[in-house]
Structure 1
Amino acid sequence: MSYKGQTAFLTGGASGIGRAVTKMLVGKGIRVYVADRDLKGAQAVAEELNTGDKAVWTVQIDVADWDSQRSAWETAEAEFKRIDYVFPIAGIGERRSFPNRPNSAGYEKPDLTVLEVDCIGVIYTVSLAVQHFRRQQPNKYGFRGKIMPVASVCGFYIHQPIPIYTAAKHAVVGLVRSYGKILAEEKITLNAVCPNKIRTGISTAAVYDKAEKLGVLVPIEKLLEAFESLMGENPMSGECLEVAPQLGVRVVQFIPFINEESKISADMTYERSHYLHEPIMDDKI
């Protein structure tokens, strides 16, 4: 399906998943603003795809920094005016977050860079998108805008040796499952795409070659199917799409409430806290 005339803002588009999604969007007639820390890489993607009418713009960004994100967003907003789709894709893999020096004296601060990029960075992008979407009218499909962050199966399966990455992806899944349901009331959708192992720059070629040999590597085409399924008139919001090897794409079914009382408790939280997401008018501040 063609979405000619629509626009997108995407973080992490210089390589991996972001690059593949950018190519898919351009193929559907969507103009894309690619924001990436690697500006030269993003510009190379733009040069590859801008073969006719200009389809890709680029801007440098540090997703873990609010001012950098806001500046990049405002640059895209100035060019496009209206932004229809937002893809928070930028991310990094696990690093040695917890210090492990048994013979050292004192205590070292843990390295939380992964959490700052893969969790806080996503929250920043979502916040910018929501604030922008609230200022524009629904499009022909009935939506003010759609947000599709990349999470991971680490957001619901346990991967023992990567605790901070897993924590970050659990946080994104939790954000989507809760906030996505409220945003739907405003004609804004928020869904996460959660791939299993897919060939990107986060791990090594040897790891991906082994995964492919074992039949557990997800083809990039399956990942793109997940994103495509959420575009256009699909009203789904607050859901997580797992992209699994062999099986393909499915909506994740999470554990149900243990009993009716547990559900009532959750409903009470909704009633108590829903006001936190109501519009704040300037004359009421």
Structure 2
Amino acid sequence: MRDEGQVVVITGASSGIGRATARRYASRGARLVLASRSREALETVAAECRERGAQVSVVPTDVTQQGEVRALAASAVAEFGRIDVWVGNAGVFSYGSFESTPERVFRQVVETNLMGQVHGARAVLPYFRRQGSGTLVLVGSLYSRVSARDISPYIASKWGLLGFAEVLRQELRASRGIRVRIILPATIDTPIYQHAANVTGRRVHPLPPASSPERVARAIVRAPRRRRFTTFVGLSQRSVIPLHRAAPPLYDGLTSLLKRRVELRGHAPLSDGTVFEPPANASSATGGWRSPMRPIVALGIAAGALALAAVKGQRKPSA
């Protein structure tokens, strides 16, 4: 196994993509340092990884706190002597218009998704420099390249993350042993939607089709060995990027319609989700969004919404 003995730090390791990535690295013989805000949740994931034969260290870490992230890196080196791969994966989500989203929620999403990655890079790059090698893998989003209404702090953080990653790539060109990679997943079947802050009053449903977190985990594990800087996961949804560039009014109209008809349906209480506090227990890698009927029902609603948009467009009087 090509990852045998490598030291891998994973933030956001207690659920979703992070949990799937930890299990995959564990099966490949890596030594793991797992980080998230909840020790109890981390211990659950660590037990899964130890069952796969991995050596695992658990370091509760809030990535919005630079000192805690520096301590995470120092702990990894103290435990295993080096860091070969740093997976920056911690992230939170929020639903609501910009004006209805509380300032503290907006700031916390950006602090977690963007500044948490900045803190990770500041913490690990000195060790990579000392070793002369290492890979920083940042988990962005398809929303690093396109936008959508009602998730403004998430969009701001993910667009900022892609720009930050590109600058690091440019600045590290002369450091041949140090690599930066960014993963851009589309809709992934994780609990992040159930965990999202929500001030819309509507229940959140991810836009189908949802890919498995294991697909993202595979991309993360492969990234250090590939020359490719950017890896997309969820190619069908990647197809919206040209539409976003070439026809912004059409893109805006269709995504707004899908947001109302597919993503935000039914009633839900207002909630901060896990933006400020982690769940009491470990969450699963998946969120239950790939059951057989969910994509069929959601795609049927989406098709109806698009047909309605087309009919409305045909009814518009010509100028």
TM range (shorter): 0.7 to 0.9
Aligned residue pairs, count: 234
Deviation at 1:21, TM superposition (A): 0.5
8 A contact 2:22–2:49 mirrored in 1: no
8 A contact 1:189–1:235 mirrored in 2: no
Q: Which amino acid counterpart does residue 229 of structure 1 have in structure 2?
A: R
Q: Which amino acid counterpart does residue 36 of structure 1 have in structure 2?
A: S
Residue 154 of structure 1: aligned partner = 143
8 A contact 2:49–2:56 mirrored in 1: yes
Q: Which amino acid counterpart does residue 230 of structure 1 have in structure 2?
A: A
8 A contact 2:3–2:30 mirrored in 1: yes
Q: Which amino acid counterpart does residue 59 of structure 1 have in structure 2?
A: V
Residue 157 of structure 2: aligned partner = 168
8 A contact 1:195–1:243 mirrored in 2: yes
Structure 1-normalised TM-score? 0.74
In structure 2, the CA distance between the partners of 1:49 and 1:228, relative to structure 1 (3 Å rule), is closer
Runs of 5+ unmatched residues, structure 2? 196-202, 246-319
Q: Deviation per CA, 1:167-204: give whole Å up to 9, x if none.
A: 10001100112211321321211111010110122103
In structure 2, the CA distance between the partners of 1:163 and 1:207, relative to structure 1 (3 Å rule), is closer
Structure 2: distance between partners of 1:228 and 1:47? 20
Q: Secondary structure at the match of 2:173?
A: helix
Residue 202 of structure 1: aligned partner = 192
Which structure is richer in relative contact order (CA contacts within 8 A, separation 6 or more)? Answer: 2
> Is residue 80 of structure 2 the alignment partner of residue 90 of structure 1?
no
Q: Which amino acid counterpart does residue 132 of structure 1 have in structure 2?
A: Y
Aligned CA RMSD, in angstroms, stands at: 2.9
Q: Secondary structure at the match of 1:225?
A: helix
Q: Which amino acid counterpart does residue 201 of structure 1 have in structure 2?
A: P
Q: Deviation per CA, 1:41-94: give whole Å up to 9, x if none.
A: 111111122137552210111100011111222111100111100001011002
8 A contact 1:115–1:168 mirrored in 2: yes
Q: Secondary structure at the match of 1:60?
A: coil
Structure 1: distance between partners of 2:53 and 2:28? 13
Identify the structure with the greater helix proportion: 2
Identify the match of residue 219 of structure 1 among 192, 203, 212: 212
In structure 2, the CA distance between the partners of 1:247 and 1:81, relative to structure 1 (3 Å rule), is same
- What's the % identity of the aligned pairs? 26
Residue 133 of structure 1: aligned partner = 128
Residue 72 of structure 1: aligned partner = 72
Structure 2: distance between partners of 1:228 and 1:52? 16
Runs of 5+ unmatched residues, structure 1? 102-106, 138-143, 256-285
8 A contact 1:97–1:164 mirrored in 2: no
Residue 241 of structure 1: aligned partner = 231
8 A contact 2:23–2:48 mirrored in 1: no
Structure 2: distance between partners of 1:108 and 1:47? 38
8 A contact 1:177–1:240 mirrored in 2: no
8 A contact 1:9–1:87 mirrored in 2: yes
Q: Which amino acid counterpart does residue 240 of structure 1 have in structure 2?
A: T
Q: Which amino acid counterpart does residue 129 of structure 1 have in structure 2?
A: V
Q: Which amino acid counterpart does residue 107 of structure 2 have in structure 1?
A: L
